[in-house]
Amino acid sequence: MNNFYNHHAFIDLNPPQKEAVVNLEGPLLVLSGAGTGKTRVLTARLANLLFSNKTKPWNILAVTFTNKAAKEMRIRLETLIGPSANSVWLGTFHSIAARILRENAEIVGLSSNYTIITPDDQVRLLKQIMLDDEIDIKKFTPKSMSNLIGKWKDKGYKPDDLKISNIDDYFANGKAINVYKNYQMRLITLNSADFGDLLLHNLTIFSKHPDILNQYHSKILYFLVDEYQDTNTIQYLWLKLLADKTKNICCVGDDDQSIYGWRGAQVGNILRFEKDYPLAKVIKLEENYRSTGRILEAANSVIINNKERLGKNLKTSSKDGDKIDLISVWDGMEEAKKTSLEIENLYSAGFRHDQMAVLVRAGHQTRYFEERFVDIGIPYKVIGAKFYERMEIRDALAYLRVVQQPNDDLALERIINIPKRGLGTNTTSLIHSYAKKNNISFFSASQELLMTDELRPNVKRSLLNLINQFLDWNNQKKEIAHTDLALKVLEESGYIAHWQNEKSLDSEGRLENLKELINAMSGFENLSGFLEHISLVMDGDNTADAGEVSLMTLHAAKGLEFDVVFLPGWEEGLFPSQRSIDELGLAGLEEERRLAYVGITRAKQRLFITFAANRQIHGLWQGSIPSRFISELPRHILNENIEGNIGADASSYYQIDFDLSTKNGFYGPGFLRAKQNGIKGINAYKKAHIDTKIINSKIIFDNGQRVFHQKFGMGLIISSDGDKLNINFDKAGEKKVVSSFVKLIE
Ligand code: ATP
Ligand code: MG
């Protein structure tokens, strides 16, 4: 192999970067700001390990934050070292832990074909357990129980590690630990693990069986970890155990980009590094290669307001670049309109669509952008579009999961009556209690019940048919290709016909998605490989690049970069998110500010920040005021495009004292626009809101009006009852729909 030090991937690095790449032995921490080349250094170091013949690819473990990042790193590595890049253990904590668990599943009572259950299966399972335990699930929801268990797992707590005095256990009237215990037992019976279990089971395996840990010690000799600031306690413990022998561990991170505190990330892990590894070398990188001077200045001036930070210097030798565009808009619709206009202008000026991104604080913000982009034909993709979370995909996956593992109760319960085959709730609860009483799976309970007289003849016939089908498909698993089997399952079960028969606008799309699912399967060797992949990439971040504008959350954008970045919705309550502040106070606010820093530093050349005067939240229109983060941006780097020509008054516009409890004296652009219309004072502001409400409320619907509905098409309002409209659709006939789902046709 050629010497890596003659390779441009090495030559192009600056001196501290080189230092991090050259020092291969012992613990190393690279702690530095956004865009300073941490990920680049990590990849170069990986290449150097292989070039130097120090070790084999399969002796290296590299952890990235998302599957997408892993994929990108693998591609980069492949161009450097060729196909042997494929043998490096490269993936997220979850995917690597899933693999280790599969290799040792029986130790924790699972078999190697265990299923990784999805968050909503988790909630459904918890609901059953909580109901059995007579917990008021209105007061203590299964969803919050699942969050609590997730939190415990992130800290590495098993049920036995928890004490009654644990404050969290007041949840569910002191029954939470018991629910956790039952939940874990149920998961084992179901041969399933949830996300949090992957690492938790790994820790159990390592602590119960030092010999197994030893095996991994001699297998994995070098560790590389990106985005180290976002590791949580269990990930930290896992890494520490594994790397303990060789201590050849290199972590890179940035405390200012720690944005997963709400998921248990411990920025303190970075600070602990030097304590854990007293011989650690710490390298700081200060040169930012990504952004223009002004973008960097914006990022620096926002993050400087955080008290809890190590404080770093970030500089660039790039030009100042364009000013940052700060744009005010009336509402989300106008925001999408203005954004798309800018996108079109930039596109004409030579920027590529795939070099532009719209980064939102909350997932629901993407809707207006999507609608607008569809309307005017801007190609886009939503990262984390949750392809695998769509109803038809989940149904299809549930069928396949039962084929793979008949004891997957959650999957079987999901589709037992989809399409309808007369196996409704009465039947399922009967099977359910039988399964529970005899401590067997839902599938086995169905089989046993079929031999009794407990089921009505038609129910029996239908259930027998389904069970036989599953047995039959299961038998064929080894005989026919998994893609053919999937198609067969979906056809023979009547699932495809179920959508073909439903003649709605979106049934077509659903059938397309099912085809796409089978396409996706062809990239995998077998059904089990595919199902494992699915459960790990539920975040859908593996879409291919085809020249589209990216739409995603700020959280999903970590580590990425784009020529042009749009940051919409910079309004108090939305960003910073009120919920973060309510739940975590100052710490929550500081995490929001780090998110702003992450957002700003994704941009290489152009940055647009927008805020709206009105936002629809849970269907209600509310006036909003600009985010405090806007007031933290230095005015001289802004190109302001503020409605209402506030001109000389501008300073009062931004300089909001958020320590004051009252927000009097400050009005958003809604007020300014109303003021231009000759209405005065705070009433004008209110009036502006009321007007918006009227425009968007049901009052405007009258009998005889023509409307459009996304699914049913054009129709005529016949009558209305509250916000429910009775509409005679041209194609779909008469239907009752909620008024917010239809658009008025003028
Ligand atoms: P983040 O904190 O956002 O994850 P990072 O520190 O990982 O950022 P990289 O993504 O590795 O930074 O690098 C940012 C950009 O700077 C990339 O486009 C990278 O190729 C480029 N870059 C890094 N180092 C150099 C260098 N020495 N010379 C030229 N470009 C560089
Ligand atoms: Mg990075």
pLDDT of residue 699: 37
CA 511 to ligand 1 center in whole angstroms:
42
The Cα 382–Cα 147 span in angstroms is 25
In a domain, 111, yes or no: no
Binding site membership of 39 for ligand 1 (Cβ less than 6 Å): yes
What is the mean predicted confidence (pLDDT) over 97-103? 95
The backbone region for 141, taken as left when phi is positive above 0, alpha when psi lies in -120 to 50, beta otherwise, is: beta
HSE of 418, CA atoms in CB hemisphere, 13 A: 18
CA 658 to ligand 2 center in whole angstroms:
33
Closest C-alpha to 493, from 390, 402, 388: 402
Of 253, 287, 321, which residue is a domain's last? 287
> 526: exposed, middle or buried (C-beta count within 10 Å: 0-12, 13-18, 19+)?
middle
The answer to which of 244-253, 447-456, 512-521 has the lowest mean pLDDT is 512-521
What is the mean predicted confidence (pLDDT) over 221-232? 94
In a domain, 194, yes or no: no
pLDDT of residue 494: 95
| Ligand 1 site-directed mutation target among 13, 19, 39, 563, most atoms within 8 Å of CB | 39
Pick the residue whose CA is nearest to atom 4 on ligand 1.
Answer: 559
- Whether 670 shows a pLDDT value over 50: the answer reads no
Q: How confident is the model at residue 619 (pLDDT cuts 50, 70, 90)?
A: low
The 10 Å Cβ neighbour count of residue 215 is: 13
Binding site membership of 253 for ligand 1 (Cβ less than 6 Å): no
pLDDT of residue 309: 85
Pick the residue whose CA is nearest to atom 27 on ligand 1.
Answer: 13
DSSP calls for 294-361 = HHHHHHHHHHTT-SSS-----B--S---SPEEEEEESSHHHHHHHHHHHHHHHHHTT--GGGEEEEES
In a domain, 42, yes or no: yes
pLDDT of residue 385: 55
In a domain, 208, yes or no: yes
For the annotated catalytic residues, the residue numbers are: 38-39, 226-227, 257, 602
Residue type at 478?
K
pLDDT of residue 169: 62
The Cα 539–Cα 555 span in angstroms is 12
- Whether 18 shows a pLDDT value over 90: the answer reads yes
The answer to which of 342-356, 379-393, 481-495, 576-590 has the lowest mean pLDDT is 379-393
Of 262, 287, 312, which residue is a domain's last? 287
Pick the residue whose CA is nearest to atom 29 on ligand 1.
Answer: 289
| Ligand 1 site-directed mutation target among 7, 30, 36, most atoms within 8 Å of CB | 36
pLDDT of residue 659: 34
Identify which ligand lies nearest to the alpha carbon of 32: 1
pLDDT of residue 744: 72
The Cα 607–Cα 327 span in angstroms is 11
What CATH number does the domain containing 227 carry?
3.40.50.300
pLDDT of residue 669: 41
Pick the residue whose CA is nearest to atom 2 on ligand 1.
Answer: 34
481 Cβ contact list (under 8 Å, min separation 6) = none
In a domain, 536, yes or no: no
Tell whether 252 and 321 lie within a shared domain: no
Tell whether 430 and 356 lie within a shared domain: no
The atom number, within ligand 1, closest to the CA of 33 reads 2
Binding site membership of 35 for ligand 1 (Cβ less than 6 Å): yes
DSSP helix/strand/coil, 283: strand
Tell whether 94 and 217 lie within a shared domain: yes
Binding site membership of 148 for ligand 1 (Cβ less than 6 Å): no
The answer to which of 103-117, 291-305, 336-350 has the lowest mean pLDDT is 103-117
CA 91 to ligand 2 center in whole angstroms:
15
Q: How confident is the model at residue 621 (pLDDT cuts 50, 70, 90)?
A: confident
* CA-based max dimension of the chain: 85
DSSP secondary structure letter of residue 695 = H
CA 388 to ligand 2 center in whole angstroms:
27
Query: Residue 692 has which token pair?
Result: 């918006």
Pick the residue whose CA is nearest to atom 8 on ligand 1.
Answer: 35
DSSP calls for 584-611 = HHHHHHHHHHHHHHHHHTTEEEEEEEEE
The answer to which of 97-111, 212-226, 267-281, 709-723 has the lowest mean pLDDT is 709-723
Residue 146 near residue 125 (C-beta atoms within 8 A)? no
Q: How confident is the model at residue 655 (pLDDT cuts 50, 70, 90)?
A: very low
The atom number, within ligand 1, closest to the CA of 601 reads 3
Packing angle between helix 391-404 and helix 482-492, nearest 10 degrees? 110
What is the mean predicted confidence (pLDDT) over 315-333? 93
CA 529 to chain centre: 22
Helices (H) and strands (E) in the chain, counts: 29, 22
Domain of 716, in residue numbers: 706-744
Share of the chain above pLDDT 70, in %: 87
The answer to which of 401-415, 555-569, 595-609, 655-669 has the lowest mean pLDDT is 655-669
DSSP helix/strand/coil, 94: helix
Pick the residue whose CA is nearest to atom 21 on ligand 1.
Answer: 289
Binding site membership of 284 for ligand 1 (Cβ less than 6 Å): no
DSSP secondary structure letter of residue 265 = B
pLDDT per residue over 420-478, tens digit each? 999 998 899 999 899 989 989 999 999 999 999 999 999 999 999 999 999 999 999 88
- For CA atoms 373, 375, 377, 383, give the dihedral sign: positive
Q: How confident is the model at residue 584 (pLDDT cuts 50, 70, 90)?
A: confident
Residue 77 near residue 43 (C-beta atoms within 8 A)? yes
In a domain, 40, yes or no: yes
Residue 15 preceded by cis peptide, ω within 30: no
The answer to which of 208-217, 261-270, 383-392 has the lowest mean pLDDT is 383-392
Tell whether 421 and 502 lie within a shared domain: yes
Query: Residue 360 has which token pair?
Result: 């939102």
Average pLDDT, the chain: 85
The 10 Å Cβ neighbour count of residue 396 is: 24
The Cα 598–Cα 150 span in angstroms is 25
Tell whether 223 and 309 lie within a shared domain: no
CA 292 to ligand 1 center in whole angstroms:
13
Tell whether 425 and 440 lie within a shared domain: yes
Tell whether 584 and 559 lie within a shared domain: yes
Binding site membership of 189 for ligand 1 (Cβ less than 6 Å): no
CA 22 to ligand 1 center in whole angstroms:
18
DSSP helix/strand/coil, 421: coil
Strand partners, 192: 115
Tell whether 670 and 728 lie within a shared domain: no
Residue 717 near residue 703 (C-beta atoms within 8 A)? yes
- Say how many domains are in the chain: 6
Binding site membership of 16 for ligand 1 (Cβ less than 6 Å): no
Tell whether 432 and 567 lie within a shared domain: no
Of 158, 189, 220, which residue is a domain's last? 189
Tell whether 78 and 225 lie within a shared domain: yes
Binding site membership of 84 for ligand 1 (Cβ less than 6 Å): no
CA distances from 645 to 334, 624, 642, 656 (A): 18, 18, 6, 18
Counted residue by residue, the chain has a size of 746
Binding site membership of 36 for ligand 1 (Cβ less than 6 Å): yes
The Cα 444–Cα 66 span in angstroms is 38
HSE of 717, CA atoms in CB hemisphere, 13 A: 24
Tell whether 717 and 689 lie within a shared domain: no
In a domain, 537, yes or no: no
Strand partners, 612: 329
CA 321 to chain centre: 32
Rg (CA), the chain: 28
CA 65 to ligand 2 center in whole angstroms:
10
The Cα 493–Cα 484 span in angstroms is 14
The Cα 254–Cα 314 span in angstroms is 12
The atom number, within ligand 1, closest to the CA of 13 reads 27
Query: Residue 499 has which token pair?
Result: 């959508």
- Whether 700 shows a pLDDT value over 70: the answer reads no
DSSP secondary structure letter of residue 728 = E
Residues in the 5 Å CB sphere of ion ligand 2? 38-39, 559
Terminal Cα distance for the chain, rounded: 71
CA 562 to ligand 2 center in whole angstroms:
13
Tell whether 422 and 510 lie within a shared domain: yes
Binding site membership of 12 for ligand 1 (Cβ less than 6 Å): yes
Q: Helical H runs in 108-174?
A: 119-132, 142-154
Query: Residue 536 has which token pair?
Result: 């790990």
pLDDT of residue 539: 45
Q: How confident is the model at residue 171 (pLDDT cuts 50, 70, 90)?
A: confident
pLDDT per residue over 175-222, tens digit each? 889 999 999 999 998 889 999 999 999 999 999 999 999 999 999 999
In a domain, 532, yes or no: no
CA 291 to ligand 1 center in whole angstroms:
10
pLDDT of residue 514: 87
Binding site membership of 14 for ligand 1 (Cβ less than 6 Å): yes
The Cα 258–Cα 677 span in angstroms is 45
